[in-house]
Structure 1
Amino acid sequence: MQIARHYGWILVGLLAACSKSDSDDDETGNWVEVQEMSAKPRSEAVSFVIGDTAYIGTGYDGEKYLRDFWKYTPARGWTQITDLPPAAPVRSSATAFVINGIGYVGTGYDNRDRLNDFWAYHPATGAWKPIKPLTHPNPAISLARRDAVSFTLNGKGYVTTGTDGSALKDTWEYDPVKDEWNEKQSFGGSKRHEAVAFVIGGKAYVVTGTNNNELKNDFYSFDGENWEKLKNISNTSDLDYDNDYDIVRTNAVAFVMNNKGYVATGSKSGLSTHCWEYDPVADQWTQRRDFEGTARTGAVAFTFANKGYVLAGRTSSMPLDDMFRFEPDQEYDEND
């Protein structure tokens, strides 16, 4: 889900070259280019999945901030759905989650202000309805932000990290029955924005991101109440497992397949194509086949029918509309 972000984030001037390690693991997997978006190319959009359909919308197309939404299935391709309503500002760098078959989209940036509003998409009617904005009990404290991450646990939605001009680490829980937000334990690691989040086995995982121009290497899981520190994503131990870790980055994407998490694309010293697989049982990462599309930042990803998809985003300046599916157990095929 996540992800989502803004045009001025991680600007880099050159595409990163695809590097290879000497191990066999990073040759495992195959990226297959599939049907490009029917919508305008864009970066910093949001995506979510309801049932057998993936949804993507909002973002920045290089000239305009957007409010349009589209749905996708492999069988039916792309179809435009109802835009966010006129009462909802255009935006990029928003965040999204799903609860009980309803998609929720909120926060972000409209080229003037950071936002705190949230909107619920009901696929049965195709309608967007406002929900309570992300609001602090003290009205003098604004929770408006961009570049946050979000996820769903146990029928509740969660928003954490992001930036309101300074990086954040507060965590808020949305209760759809009461239509209210409640503050939870703050993210366990450093403040950050432009991170990614994914959920496996009833736990959410938050990783990567940046603050003070420093890429963050700490990694935490969350069970809805408490944050737990996991192994760092750079070489900080005396053991060999992390010697080749090259995971730190910002404005990446994340998705889940077969109870393993995947992080790909994004930016560090340049745009990255490296793809890493996380095993929550071993709390370790393994490099997989590099992303085979154009190196990019500000992309989105989703999991559909247990396959991971990465799409949209931008190079240093050009928004993109292509889409790739990752097959983690297939051998590399340069012709697909």
Structure 2
Amino acid sequence: MHARHILFLGIILFSLSCKKKTEEQPPLPQAPPVAKLTFPTNKEGSTGTVLMIEGENFAEKPADNVIKVNGVQVSHVEVVELKPLTGNKTTRMLRTCIPKGAKSGEVTLTIGNNTIELGGLVIKEYTSDGKWKQVADFPGTPKTGLTSAFVINGKAYVGLGGKATTEEYTDTYFYDFWEYDPSLDKWTKKADFPGGNRNYFISFAIGNKGYLGLGSRDDVVGSLGDEFQKDFWEYDPAIDKWAKKKDFPGGRRTKAYCLSIGNHGYVGSGLNVAVEVQNDLWQYNPIDDSWKERAPFPYKEAFAYGLSIETPLMMSTPSKGYLMSSELADLWGIKYAFWQYDPLTDKWAQKSTFIGINSKNGVISATYDVMLTFGFSLGGQVYVPMLYYDNLSKTWYPQLFAYDEGAGNWTKKPDYTAPPQNNVTFSIGNNAYVGLGPFQKDLWKFTP
């Protein structure tokens, strides 16, 4: 072989060797995390209580942020960002929950080879003597999206919603359906919803039947809005079967609100196929399977900020319906308005201003991030749990408020101990049940 050929071959082999070594170089080490446990502020909680960890240098992949409570690793982690209404500074946080089996002790965060201590946590398991008691876990797959819940003859029916993973939120929706019997504290699998997988739908009960429809499917290929649905179904628990009913006449809709008052159901608002906010209201009569348009919600702009769209906060008593709306009051805060719908007069009326934390005339300062994720009614009162994060003091405030239908005013109740983010809420007898928050299977019973 000629010398120049040998030299050329040597150069090639040397180049390949260098390339291989370059490819095998390990990634640069990640900077050690800097973090602190900011919620619960009193450093006390029970199984399922949300943990919020604020800091920097978190791993981009949620599962790579390994959090343990006294050596017991949590089952999931979210990386979230809180953006204030004013200013550009974003607060980066890890969100998880106290795992089952954890005892009082140190909370640690491990990323790669770096482990830091976040402080001690006191675990208090609440018993039936308290206002909140944890009951049987949901046996299905944990959900991130909204989940159906209606009550028939003392039993709750729960299902559908978005899928949860330990990695990230996904667009995978479900059609599973379950029955919860509080007398036995037991879950039973029922017939799947036949309308396909579904999220951001509506559901309610009238008499001995349940109704479910609208929302979004993730198996529809097309333009934005094509996945929105208008179908409407009836569920009969006596025979565990579904029956197709007349479509919702307002067109395909997602993130609508719904109510059940007396012998009728009410559906409205949400987003249409053009992803435009709606403020209409329709009444459903199960006797003749008919729809009738009713008085629209009087203030469409109140939906634009997102509370009643992104997190429907609807409650009803036997004779009235209630809706919590939100809007930007000014550059300094958000106004939460409380509305009552009377089906006898077909009229909306704004009721007593919601008090909230440090609010003035219903306006909550923009220094707070507010989570209103569920509401329920019991004994003529409407309950609204709220979770506040003060961007100035870096403090969380879990609070519970109740609206008395007879007196027409709000009162502050003892702070709640159940997890603050929940996708399901229903009332049976003298108790309310909330649970199945993001990634969670836990269900909690509230006795006022």
1:277 correspondence with 2:354: no
- Give runs of aligned pairs for residues 77-96 of structure 1, distance below 5 A: 77-85=131-139, 88-92=140-144, 93-96=146-149
How far apart, CA to CA, are the structure 2 residues paired with 1:287 and 1:121? 35
Q: Work out whether residues 159 and 171 of structure 1, in 8 Å CA contact, stay in contact via their aligned partners in 2.
A: yes
- Give runs of aligned pairs for residues 153-192 of structure 1, distance below 5 A: 153-165=206-218, 166-192=227-253
Q: Work out whether residues 104 and 121 of structure 1, in 8 Å CA contact, stay in contact via their aligned partners in 2.
A: yes
Where does the alignment leave 5 or more consecutive residues of structure 2 unmatched? 1-44, 52-76, 81-94, 101-125, 164-168, 219-226, 358-363, 365-369, 414-448
Question: How high is the TM-score relative to the length of structure 1?
Answer: 0.67
Q: Work out whether residues 65 and 91 of structure 1, in 8 Å CA contact, stay in contact via their aligned partners in 2.
A: no
How far apart, CA to CA, are the structure 1 residues paired with 2:253 and 2:130? 38
1:291 corresponds to which letter in structure 2? F
Q: Work out whether residues 402 and 412 of structure 2, in 8 Å CA contact, stay in contact via their aligned partners in 1.
A: no
Deviation of 1:147 after TM superposition, in Å, equals 1.1
Correspondent of 1:261 among 308, 321, 332: 321
Indicate the SS of the match to 2:143: coil
How far apart, CA to CA, are the structure 1 residues paired with 2:257 and 2:98? 22
1:223 correspondence with 2:285: yes
How far apart, CA to CA, are the structure 2 residues paired with 1:179 and 1:320? 42
Indicate the SS of the match to 1:273: strand
Q: Work out whether residues 252 and 266 of structure 1, in 8 Å CA contact, stay in contact via their aligned partners in 2.
A: no
Q: Work out whether residues 41 and 319 of structure 1, in 8 Å CA contact, stay in contact via their aligned partners in 2.
A: no
Deviations 1:98-121 (A, max 9, x none): 111111110111133101001111
**In the alignment, what sits opposite 2:188?**
129
Distance change (3 Å), C-alpha of 1:335 and 1:264: closer
- Give runs of aligned pairs for residues 7-18 of structure 1, distance below 5 A: none
Where does the alignment leave 5 or more consecutive residues of structure 1 unmatched? 1-35, 43-59, 137-142, 237-244
Distance change (3 Å), C-alpha of 1:287 and 1:321: same
By relative contact order (CA 8 Å, sep 6+), the higher-ranking structure is 1
Distance change (3 Å), C-alpha of 1:121 and 1:291: same
Deviation of 1:291 after TM superposition, in Å, equals 2.5
- Give runs of aligned pairs for residues 55-70 of structure 1, distance below 5 A: 63=95
- Give runs of aligned pairs for residues 93-112 of structure 1, distance below 5 A: 93-110=146-163, 111-112=169-170
How far apart, CA to CA, are the structure 1 residues paired with 2:372 and 2:290? 29
How many corresponding residue pairs?
265
How far apart, CA to CA, are the structure 1 residues paired with 2:252 and 2:325? 21
* Structure showing the higher helix proportion among its residues: 2
Correspondent of 1:194 among 224, 234, 255: 255
1:220 corresponds to which letter in structure 2? W
How far apart, CA to CA, are the structure 2 residues paired with 1:217 and 1:230? 11
Distance change (3 Å), C-alpha of 1:330 and 1:306: closer
Correspondent of 1:302 among 360, 370, 376: 376
| RMSD, aligned α-carbons | 3.9
Deviations 1:58-77 (A, max 9, x none): xx986469999xxx9x9840
How far apart, CA to CA, are the structure 2 residues paired with 1:214 and 1:67? 40
Distance change (3 Å), C-alpha of 1:145 and 1:297: farther
Deviation of 1:290 after TM superposition, in Å, equals 2.8
Q: Work out whether residues 171 and 183 of structure 1, in 8 Å CA contact, stay in contact via their aligned partners in 2.
A: yes
1:311 correspondence with 2:385: yes
Distance change (3 Å), C-alpha of 1:94 and 1:64: farther
Indicate the SS of the match to 2:407: strand
Deviations 1:178-237 (A, max 9, x none): 21111111112132222221111210111222233311121101112111111222479x
1:283 corresponds to which letter in structure 2? D
Correspondent of 2:204 among 146, 151, 154: 151
Deviations 1:282-313 (A, max 9, x none): 11111112322267566212111121112257
Q: Work out whether residues 41 and 312 of structure 1, in 8 Å CA contact, stay in contact via their aligned partners in 2.
A: no
How far apart, CA to CA, are the structure 1 residues paired with 2:291 and 2:321? 18
Question: How high is the TM-score relative to the length of structure 2?
Answer: 0.51
1:322 correspondence with 2:376: no
Deviation of 1:123 after TM superposition, in Å, equals 1.2
Bigger Cα Rg:
2
- Give runs of aligned pairs for residues 107-122 of structure 1, distance below 5 A: 107-110=160-163, 111-112=169-170, 113-122=172-181
**In the alignment, what sits opposite 2:49?**
40
Correspondent of 1:292 among 350, 355, 358: 355
How far apart, CA to CA, are the structure 2 residues paired with 1:291 and 1:37? 29
**In the alignment, what sits opposite 2:296?**
232
How far apart, CA to CA, are the structure 2 residues paired with 1:335 and 1:105? 30
